[in-house]
Structure 1
Amino acid sequence: MDSFQEEKVIIVEGKSDKKRIQEVINEPIQIICTNGTISVTKLDELMEDIMDREVYILVDADESGDKLRKLFKREFPEAEHLYIDKMYREVASAPHQHIATVLLSANIDIHAQFL
């Protein structure tokens, strides 16, 4: 098994969000899906796995995304929160260029075609 771990982690809500981000990024980053919610047990396991890494939270601009964001702000204040424009509401439906701009603001390498 490969012991290499990406230095950066992006936490998203769903698989379609993960797929959208993977299309834009140009560096090895672990993308973790919460599937909209996360239990306390799962959160504890996750936090143990991501300690000492750069963690970014990129969730939808809706009620479930806000709940998840509040949870991470409380339980993992070191994480950097990235925001999509509210007009897109969902990460998965935001244009590639918009996601690229958001990720670039966090010094995440993106494919040049999205600049």
Structure 2
Amino acid sequence: MNDSYVDKVLIVEGTSDKRKVKRIVKEPVEIICTNGTISITKLDELIDFLEDKDVYILVDADAAGEKLRKQFKREFPQAEHIYIDRSYREVATAPEHHLATVLLGANIDVHTQFLENC
């Protein structure tokens, strides 16, 4: 987790998700990877870190992603959940223009060139 202050935190599953989203997002956003699962210890650390931030959850549209999403709904009921179209299944394989559109819909500023393919 970063020492510099950012208002928004986006939680994704894997490093490939993080790399893809990082290219698309224009504003300063802390992107945290769970690597598919999250331990109780890591969750406790996150609770303290995320206390005064806008939290967004962007996970795959599969069973593992839904399990993780349910866990975050319990622990961070204030978090905003961002959903990709189920046909893409994974954040890492979803088209950049689709990700840009869903991120923009959650009030996360994106680079406009990713919206041009819509």
1:110 counterpart = 2:110:
yes
Residues 81-96 of structure 1: pairs in structure 2 closer than 5 A: 81-96=81-96
Structure 1: distance between partners of 2:84 and 2:3: 32
Structure 1 counterpart of 2:6: 6
The 2-side partners of 1:65 and 1:112 are apart by 28
Q: Note the alpha carbon deviations across 1:10-39, whole angstroms, 9 max, x for none.
A: 000000000010110101100000000001
Alignment of 1:1-115 (within 5 A): 3-115=3-115
Shift of 1:4: 2.5
Letter in 2 for 1:36: G
1:51-104 Cα offsets, whole Å, 9 max, x none, are 110000000000110000000001110100000000000000000000000000
Q: Which runs of 5 or more structure 1 residues have no equivalent in the other structure?
A: none
Helix, strand or coil for the counterpart of 1:31?
A: strand
CA distance in 2 between partners of 1:54 and 1:25 (Å): 15
Could you tell me which amino acid in structure 1 is paired with residue 66 of structure 2? D
Aligned residues: 114
Distance 1:3 1:15 in 2: 20
Cα displacement (A) at 1:114 = 1.2
Which runs of structure 1 show a deviation greater than 2 angstroms over 4 or more consecutive aligned residues?
Answer: none
TM-score w.r.t. structure 1 length?
0.96
Q: Root-mean-square deviation (CA), in Å?
A: 1.1
Classify 1:20/1:74 alpha carbon distance in 2 versus 1 (closer, same or farther; 3 Å). Answer: same
Q: Secondary structure of the residue that 1:91 maps to in structure 2?
A: coil
Unpaired segments of 5 or more residues in structure 2? none
Identity %: 64
**Secondary structure of 1:55's partner?**
strand
- TM-score, normalisation: structure 2: 0.94
